[in-house]
């Protein structure tokens, strides 16, 4: 659905993007994470046809963002980090204008505006001026605006910036709901817990490049639980027995060992974790706590970037 190949962009001699590549599949809710200045916004702006890359190729639903911008815009909705609104228009006028800007006319236009008002929950305030809305409601209005032409792909740059916790929760629900309807979403966010909560995969970007190695894309959620889990195991008694048992179990790998508490990576998802627990118990290890978890985005981020701010 979204394909990025070796994309490069320089500003005044400084590389904002330096050969970044990524593939986002149809129906994915994909996160983009990296420290400040890593190139997230530049990448999303290139995909949104606002910025031309110096080299490389990016396509959305098979259309090249550089050479077929109109085709891309018809299929894509973009929400910038600070979404602009016309304060002196009413909500209905604002949405109607953008519906017309997407070449919707007559009944289609009216239906699109009604759908957007209803979807955003702003229908009762349709005659209110945009300036009367809170920041959270303005974000919601702009998101509704990006959906007027029923895009197949949504590009969201830091959509939760400035939102209070309740508005963030609402935004997450809205994105989940859109994703369930089949919209592919690529979003960047500095709020890792939000990404962890809703994304199926997350890509890491640093200095305009993919983070090196296998950690460049992290699978999250249910999918991840079918792959590898990290188990925290606490025992009583001799730790040597646990070491021996783990040593003879090929699907497990010790990540960290602290006296009676071990962190172990086990393959095979939940079934793999259950098999490991059975193996330990039958091997004579007295387990008092066995806590299998999926990949932790914050841990992964810390491992990759240290103390750099996302």
Partner 1 sequence: MNPMIGKELRQRMRERRGWLLPTLYLVALGGVVVFYYYLQVTVRRPWDPRGLQGSEIGAALFLVLTYAQLSVLLLLAPVFSAGSITIEKEQRTLTGLLTSLLTPLDIWWGKFFASSLFLVLLLLSSLPVLSLVFAFGGIGPLQVLLATLTTLFVLGTVSSIGLYCSAFFRRSVHATAVTYAAIIAITALSAITFGILMARWEAQKQVRTAQLVAAGTPAAEVAQIPETPPLWVRAPLYVNPYFLVTLSFGTADDWASDGVPSLAVFMVLFLLSFTFAVRQIRKGGEQT
Report the interface residues with partner 1, using CB under 8 A.
45, 48-52, 70, 73-74, 76, 78, 80, 82-89, 93, 97-98, 100-103, 142, 145, 149
Residues contacting 20, CB < 8 A, separation 6+ = 4, 6, 7, 39, 43, 56, 205, 208, 209, 210
Q: How far is the CB of 248 from partner 1 (least distance, A)?
A: 58
Closest by CA to 296, choosing from 209, 229, 210, 249, is: 229
Smallest gap, in angstroms, from Cβ of residue 88 to partner 1?
5
- Tokens at residue 83, please? 């979404």
Q: Measure CA 266 to chain center.
A: 25
Q: Which CB, 42 or 200, lies closer to partner 1?
A: 42
CB 4 within 8 A of CB 19: no
* Residue 135 vs 255, nearer CB to partner 1: 135
Q: Which is nearer to partner 1, 73 or 209 (by Cβ)? A: 73
- Closer to partner 1 by CB, 83 or 292: give it: 83
Give 2 or 280: the residue with its C-beta nearer to partner 1.
2
- Nearest approach in angstroms of CB 262 to partner 1 is 50
Place of tokens 């994915």: 28
For the CB of residue 96, give the shortest distance to partner 1 in the complex, in Å: 8
Least gap, CB of 196 to partner 1 (angstroms): 28
Q: Is the Cβ of residue 87 or residue 134 nearer to partner 1 in the bound state?
A: 87
Long-range (24+ apart) CB contacts under 8 A made by 3-6 are 3/57, 3/58, 3/59, 4/43, 4/47, 4/56, 4/57, 4/58, 5/56, 5/57, 5/58, 6/55, 6/56, 6/57
CA angle 123, 125, 126 (to 5 degrees): 65
Minimum distance from residue 206 beta carbon to partner 1 (Å): 23
Q: Is the dihedral of CA 265, 268, 270, 275 positive or negative?
A: negative
Q: Which is nearer to partner 1, 82 or 255 (CB)?
A: 82
Minimum Å gap between C-beta 70 and partner 1 is 7
> Residues 163, 164, 167, 168: is their CA dihedral positive or negative?
positive
């Amino acid at each position: 659905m979204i394909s990025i190949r070796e994309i490069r962009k320089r500003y005044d001699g400084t590389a904002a993007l330096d050969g970044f590549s990524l593939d986002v599949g149809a129906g994915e809710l994909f996160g983009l994470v990296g420290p400040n200045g890593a190139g997230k916004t530049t990448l999303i702006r290139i995909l949104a046809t606002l910025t031309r890359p110096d080299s490389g190729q990016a396509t959305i639903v098979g259309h090249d963002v550089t050479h077929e911008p109109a085709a891309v815009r018809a299929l894509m909705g973009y929400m910038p980090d600070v979404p602009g609104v016309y304060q002196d228009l009413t909500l209905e006028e604002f949405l109607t204008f953008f519906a017309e800007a997407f070449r919707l006319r007559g009944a289609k236009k009216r239906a699109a505006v009604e759908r957007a008002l209803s979807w955003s929950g702003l229908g009762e305030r349709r005659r209110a001026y945009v300036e009367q809305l809170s920041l959270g409601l303005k974000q919601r209005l702009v998101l509704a605006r990006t959906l007027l032409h029923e895009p197949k792909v949504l590009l969201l740059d830091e959509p939760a910036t400035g939102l209070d916790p309740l508005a963030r929760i609402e935004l997450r629900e809205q994105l989940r709901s859109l994703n369930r309807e089949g919209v592919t979403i690529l979003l960047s966010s500095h709020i890792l817990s939000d990404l962890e909560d809703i994304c199926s995969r997350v890509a890491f970007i640093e200095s305009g490049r993919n983070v090196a190695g296998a950690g460049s894309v992290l699978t999250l959620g249910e999918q991840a639980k079918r792959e590898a889990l990290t188990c925290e195991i606490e025992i009583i008694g001799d730790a040597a027995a646990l070491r021996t048992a783990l040593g003879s179990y090929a699907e497990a790998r010790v990540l960290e060992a602290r006296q009676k508490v071990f962190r172990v990576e086990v393959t095979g998802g939940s079934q793999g974790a259950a098999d490991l627990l059975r193996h330990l118990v039958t091997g004579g290890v007295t387990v008092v706590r066995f806590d299998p978890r999926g990949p932790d985005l914050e841990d992964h981020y810390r491992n990759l970037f240290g103390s750099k701010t996302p």
